[in-house]
Structure 1
Amino acid sequence: MSDSLSVQQARKLILHSQQLATTGPSRSGSAISATLSAIEHLGYIQIDTISAVQRAHHHTLWNRNPHYDATHLDQLLASKQVFEYWSHAAAYLPMRDYRYSLPRKHAIASGEQGHWYEPDKPLMKAVLKRIASEGPLMAKDFEYRGEKLGEWRSKPAKRALECLYMRGDLMISERRNFHKVYELTERVLGPTVNTTAPTTEEYGRFLIKRYLEANGVGQPAEISYLRKNTKPLIATTLRSMLADGELVQLDVGGNQYVALPRSLALLNTPLARNKLAILSPFDNLLIQRKRMQALFNFDYLIECYVPQHKRQYGYFSLPILWNGKLVARMDCKADRRESHLHILHLAVEPSLENIDGLAHALCKKLPSFMQFNRCTQLSLHKASPNNYLAILRTAFAKITP
């Protein structure tokens, strides 16, 4: 027998768990400590290279910490409080969770789990020896004049570096102009980091608890999303935790979810009234598209991978969260040379009726978003439905960053 939540209650629980429902962290701590706290709570921050607007890892943290600065991640990496590795994708992870990256690393090292690059063991040995002798190196430090290989057109040394990184022999000590700098793992880790591999049971419980702390409610397929070979472990551990009362089962609109019992207290906290967030396509809230469709009735596809003539909304449309709902998407391009933020297309969901309210909320949020993207000018080029264009342009004309 499961308890039930309305879809609206589930959304509220999710948004509080995602730290998108409040007015932001208090000023009692430092800005960088708020950034670390957000990373530790969410469990990971996805790294992405697209720079139509500020990159996704910065954008995601800015939405949780209004005092976020793009130097924070470099500082936290240097102080060994976060590290780079793989979550469901490339990500910054809290160093306190380092030991839970070991099951994947050990599986890749043993050959139990495949890697997108075939290991070249003699080359990997030579690369490792050179880093041990010379210190941190980038892929460009390895000369190669031959043909680059594979889908990503990468040179052999880059492939060797990535194999060594994914299996745990190397870590990323820093980034220079967004390029990875590889170093021996033992020289990156601080002396207090727990390097003991978790037991199978510990690992299963970690994956479940981390997911539910950050996401409020979840299903087995969501918890194991893009985590190879974890589905049976998560299914078994979920059954055990439900039987022990560590989790509760919830019916949400006819679908079954699980949650941590203590998380249900978040339902007593109201959502921040009229709060609007301009989200990255790679924001932790949005990364599972089927989940967004089921729980937020928001059918989202990032179209940068879609041929231009087939795009409906634009190259890099940013979902708009307002009053607890996903109500629009905004395709943006920051022209940093001209300090100009171009809203190429603002598409409003058909379910939204209060366009004036949305325009007002956007006018309050856009100045800080422009500053975040180092822009002082704003242009709106297209809106859908088209009759909203004049309303929105009139509202935006009053914006002063």
Structure 2
Amino acid sequence: MKQLTLLQVDPTAAIAPNADLVAWSRLGAVYRPEDLTRALEVDRTLFEFDALIRPMEDLPLFLAGMQGAPHRERTREWLTANRSFHRDVLARLRDAGPLASRDLPDTAAVPWASSGWTNNRNTTQLLEILAMRGEIAISHRKGRERFWDLAERVYPADAVAIPFADAVRIRDERRLAALGIARAKAPEQPIEPVHVGEAGEEATVEGVPGTWRVDPAALEAAGSERFEGRTALLSPFDRLGYDRVRARQLFGFEYTLEMYKPEAKRQWGYFALPVLHDDELVGKVDAKADRKAGILTVHAIHEDAPFDADTKDAVHGELDGLAEWLGLERVGP
């Protein structure tokens, strides 16, 4: 987890919850979802913040940013107008936490206004803001439901904020170490950036315009260690392919997450899994888990270029392994 830096929390579970699917892709059958739950809720070696799971030792990298939240003027004004609501929620958590949002009072003096689904969802909106401020934190989950508590009961008492500029630099370095190669600047992404600033060393990639930043440790390892590839089925949210532009430029890999498209317009499937083989992204697998029926249905294996026999065997082996890990029977090609 320290090397990966984060696991994204996402409600989509066509195969398995994203955090579990990424962990399985990286660790294999030895990984069990209860391991992640224990690390988050019992051992507190991990924490969930802004829909990402991170090592607790990285918390100091985010504390300074929490102290300045919220950053939008409209949100600050809403929080100021609801001081008593703010106090009520903290008092309730202090007395009875951890609690779900439904167990907390909505005493908002000014409702949250939005043209989207958050309109008038005052309690959930306040909880999100207070979490971003580091006043509360997610204590645990029951299914998808989050339970909140005072941050002092979840985060270690000895965590000290690293100055913001230093924290940004260290996070850039850690992100580059996880990715190996990335752009210094890139378009903003939801939740987590994909750029790395001035971390690492400047490099160029043959046939790809512009410059990149490369992790020095990755360069050293590439020159001194014999590469041993493997085959893996990746989550669409795995950081290897999360930046679709980077995946296209470095791997020639075209991918779009199609669960938001009408079925008739999908090319690869609702939640197609990118296929990594050795050092290439070579295709997508359209599959869906039906836990009630006890089956993993493989609708299609899309080959970006025709697979040779070894690649086919490796992909089918991974699908068998995925079905076994899920405790399901595999059906399909």
TM-score by length of 1: 0.73
Q: Does 1:374 align with 2:327?
A: yes
Equivalent residue number for residue 321 of structure 1? 276
Q: Following the alignment from structure 1 to structure 2, what is the Cα–Cα distance between the partners of residues 285 and 46?
A: 13
Note the 1:244-283 alignment, pairs <5 A: 247-253=200-206, 254-267=209-222, 268-273=224-229, 275-283=230-238
Structure 1 residues 370 and 230 mapped into 2: Cα distance closer, same or farther (>3 Å)?
A: closer
Equivalent residue number for residue 68 of structure 1? 31
Q: Contact 1:108 / 1:115 at 8 angstroms: preserved in 2?
A: no
Structure 1 residues 278 and 117 mapped into 2: Cα distance closer, same or farther (>3 Å)?
A: farther
Shift of 1:277: 0.3
Q: Contact 2:235 / 2:274 at 8 angstroms: preserved in 1?
A: yes
Note the 1:166-205 alignment, pairs <5 A: 166-191=132-157, 193-194=158-159, 196-205=160-169
SS of 2:2's partner is helix
Q: Contact 1:60 / 1:284 at 8 angstroms: preserved in 2?
A: no
Q: Following the alignment from structure 2 to structure 1, what is the Cα–Cα distance between the partners of residues 298 and 26?
A: 23
Deviations 1:170-191 (A, max 9, x none): 0011111121110001111234
Q: Contact 2:45 / 2:55 at 8 angstroms: preserved in 1?
A: yes
Shift of 1:222: 4.5
Q: Contact 1:124 / 1:161 at 8 angstroms: preserved in 2?
A: no
Q: Which fold has the larger relative contact order, with Cα–Cα distance below 8 Å and residues 6 or more apart in sequence?
A: 1
Q: Does 1:125 align with 2:87?
A: yes
Q: Contact 2:112 / 2:118 at 8 angstroms: preserved in 1?
A: yes
SS of 1:304's partner is coil
Moved more, 212-221 or 262-271: 262-271
Structure 1 residues 152 and 116 mapped into 2: Cα distance closer, same or farther (>3 Å)?
A: farther
Q: Following the alignment from structure 1 to structure 2, what is the Cα–Cα distance between the partners of residues 116 and 279?
A: 39
Structure 1 residues 198 and 148 mapped into 2: Cα distance closer, same or farther (>3 Å)?
A: closer
Amino acid at match of 1:129: A
Q: Following the alignment from structure 1 to structure 2, what is the Cα–Cα distance between the partners of residues 262 and 114?
A: 43
Shift of 1:153: 4.7
Structure 1 residues 340 and 229 mapped into 2: Cα distance closer, same or farther (>3 Å)?
A: closer
SS of 2:27's partner is coil
Q: Does 1:103 align with 2:64?
A: yes
Equivalent residue number for residue 9 of structure 2? 47
Shift of 1:230: 11
Q: Contact 1:100 / 1:203 at 8 angstroms: preserved in 2?
A: yes
Alignment gaps of 5+ in structure 1: 1-38, 242-246, 381-401
Shift of 1:143: 6.4
Structure 1 residues 54 and 152 mapped into 2: Cα distance closer, same or farther (>3 Å)?
A: same
Q: Contact 1:277 / 1:320 at 8 angstroms: preserved in 2?
A: yes
Structure 1 residues 42 and 311 mapped into 2: Cα distance closer, same or farther (>3 Å)?
A: same
Equivalent residue number for residue 358 of structure 1? 311
Amino acid at match of 1:99: P
Shift of 1:51: 1.1
Structure 1 residues 52 and 136 mapped into 2: Cα distance closer, same or farther (>3 Å)?
A: same
Q: Following the alignment from structure 2 to structure 1, what is the Cα–Cα distance between the partners of residues 226 and 218?
A: 14
Note the 1:103-252 alignment, pairs <5 A: 103-109=64-70, 111=71, 118-119=78-79, 120-142=82-104, 150=114, 151-153=116-118, 155-191=121-157, 193-194=158-159, 196-222=160-186, 225-226=189-190, 235=197, 238=198, 247-252=200-205
Q: Contact 1:271 / 1:324 at 8 angstroms: preserved in 2?
A: no
SS of 2:332's partner is strand
Amino acid at match of 1:283: D
Shift of 1:138: 0.4
Q: Following the alignment from structure 1 to structure 2, what is the Cα–Cα distance between the partners of residues 142 and 304?
A: 33
Shift of 1:379: 1.8
Q: Following the alignment from structure 1 to structure 2, what is the Cα–Cα distance between the partners of residues 42 and 183?
A: 27
Structure 1 residues 149 and 124 mapped into 2: Cα distance closer, same or farther (>3 Å)?
A: same
Q: Contact 1:330 / 1:345 at 8 angstroms: preserved in 2?
A: yes
Amino acid at match of 2:182: G
Note the 1:13-28 alignment, pairs <5 A: none
SS of 1:327's partner is strand
Q: Following the alignment from structure 1 to structure 2, what is the Cα–Cα distance between the partners of residues 306 and 98?
A: 37
Equivalent residue number for residue 267 of structure 2? 312
Q: Following the alignment from structure 1 to structure 2, what is the Cα–Cα distance between the partners of residues 69 and 41?
A: 19
Counterpart among 264, 270, 291 of residue 246 in structure 2: 291
Q: CA RMSD in A?
A: 2.8
Deviations 1:101-142 (A, max 9, x none): 123312214x46776995343322211111011121001213
Counterpart among 275, 293, 298 of residue 343 in structure 1: 298
Shift of 1:228: 8.9
